[in-house]
Amino acid sequence: MKWLIASDIHGSAFYCRKLMEAYEKEQASRMLLLGDLLYHGPRNDLPREYAPKEVISLLNGRASEILAVRGNCEAEVDQMVLDFPVMADYMVLSEEGLVIYCTHGHIWNAQNLPPLKQGDVLLHGHTHILKAEKEEGRWILNPGSVSIPKEGNPPSYAVLESGTFRIRDFEGNTIKEADLGKKCRNEWSILT
């Protein structure tokens, strides 16, 4: 299965449209969103074409293909307008011994690890800084931010397929790549 993974849309209709175009171009089977979908947050400037209602429409058009976790900007009102669940703090993807703990990153992150074994993966957003590094025997992955990247990074998303995690910009260039060490078959188990 091929996953498109993204985080921190923050209500940008411009970048949400780019994300939907990337989803089509990548021919991914599912989209995994790591939170902060609609609201820009009090610490961020307004992203390009800030239009949460348009983002709602774009995401709801793919509701059956999206799995998501709650970001620090999500609230119950967001769940009222989105047609897919967004209030879980985390989810776990598992395939042939590869465990991927998916969360936004404001609670569980590299400085505050969830219960992970050696070889497991922490996948989160929140920092707006892309990352694909192995630390103390665990992978720490972050697709960066769709609309408000930091530290000079471009707007980005990631693709996970057959045990390889690739962070891409919206021109389709691979910025970072990590072989997670497990070649996955076609299906993942989803545990919440």
* Res. 94 pLDDT band, cuts 50 70 90: confident
SS3 content of the chain, % helix, strand, coil (to 5): 15, 30, 50
* Res. 22 pLDDT band, cuts 50 70 90: very high
Q: Please tell me the total count of domains within the chain.
A: 1
pLDDT at 185 over 60: no
Residue matched to tokens 């497990």 = 182
Per residue in 59-88, pLDDT tens? 999 999 999 999 999 999 999 999 999 999
Least confident range from 49-53, 94-98, 132-136, 142-146: namely 94-98
Give the pLDDT score at 188: 43
**Token digits of residue 55:** 């983002």
Kindly state the average pLDDT of the residues 18-40: 97
Whether the pTM exceeds 0.85: the reply is yes
The gap from C-alpha 106 to its chain's centroid, in whole angstroms, comes to 13
Q: What is the mean pLDDT of the chain?
A: 93
Q: Is 58 helix (H, G, I), strand (E, B) or coil?
A: helix
**Closest by Cα among 70, 13, 12 to 44:** 12
Domain of residue 30: give its range. 3-191
CATH code, domain carrying 34: 3.60.21.10
Kindly state the average pLDDT of the residues 164-190: 78
Per residue in 106-136, pLDDT tens? 999 999 999 999 999 999 999 999 999 999 9
Counting Cα atoms < 13 Å in the Cβ hemisphere of 113 gives: 16
**Token digits of residue 191:** 């545990």
Residues of the chain with pLDDT > 90, as a percent, come to 86
* Res. 147 pLDDT band, cuts 50 70 90: very high
Residue matched to tokens 């979908």 = 37
Whether the CB-CB separation of 37 and 53 falls below 8 Å is answered with no
* Res. 43 pLDDT band, cuts 50 70 90: confident
